[in-house]
Chains A and B, each alone.
Chain A
Amino acid sequence: DTGVSQNPRHKITKRGQNVTFRCDPISEHNRLYWYRQTLGQGPEFLTYFQNEAQLEKSRLLSDRFSAERPKGSFSTLEIQRTEQGDSAMYLCASRGQGGEKLFFGSGTQLSVL
């Protein structure tokens, strides 16, 4: 068990570019969450997967954001036409079936210039 893994750790991009982040959950965890966190704030929920099904999406998730978990294992979060307001830490977390504890990755820090 290597924990939740997120790549890249840091991403710097220019406004208008597309970016994609990857999350590898704990291997036996079938539930996967994406959060966004800005400095000095708590995490904000973005979306949630159970296996490959995306069961919930926050209103925060605009049309520029898309998340996938095609085989029920790793997940990707893509942001199209990035804006400076997208600059934040993007956190991924996973949870096992029947468990209530969420385990977090180290996050991907996005900076949009």
Chain B
Amino acid sequence: AQTVTQSQPEMSVQEAETVTLSCTYDTSESDYYLFWYKQPPSRQMILVIRQEAYKQQNATENRFSVNFQKAAKSFSLKISDSQLGDAAMYFCAPMDSNYQLIWGAGTKLIIKP
């Protein structure tokens, strides 16, 4: 079975600083998508960023970027210039060949003002 490991249950960062959330996964697929979702206290699940596994270039969305290491099956999320609104649970979720998301347990991100 495919698994996702988010080894940091909780992370905290000073406002305006940079933080990296880690994620490793296990898959036998060769071509797949990977996602980071954030879930603020409202519990709305919001897509942060998407990576296609066949692309070597790391995805970037404004202050959010990923470090995708396919061979190592690692997919970390970097948040630059952290803002108070970034406080949330962050979930790493690779997608399998059936277009099913495999979810990690999440990392709680705390932003210190």
- A: which residues have CB within 8 A of B? 31, 37, 40-45, 48, 56, 89, 91, 93, 95, 100-107, 109
Contacts and interface: CB of A to CB of B under 8 A. Distances in A.
Contact of A106 (B35, B44, B99, B100): B44
B104 A42 contact: yes
A8 to B, nearest CB: 14
A44 B105 CA distance: 10
Given A42-B104, A42-B106, A100 B47 contact: no
Given A100-B33, A100-B50, A107 B103 contact: no
Nearest to A107: B43
A91 B43 CA distance: 9
B43 A109 contact: yes
Contacts of A101: 35, 47, 50
Main SS of the interface on chain A?
A: strand
B11 interface: no
16 contacts: A31-B99, A37-B43, A41-B106, A42-B91, A42-B93, A42-B105, A43-B45, A43-B103, A44-B103, A100-B33, A100-B95, A101-B35, A102-B35, A105-B44, A106-B42, A106-B43
B43 A89 contact: yes
A41 B108 CA distance: 11
B42 A41 contact: no
Contacts of B43: 37, 89, 106-107, 109
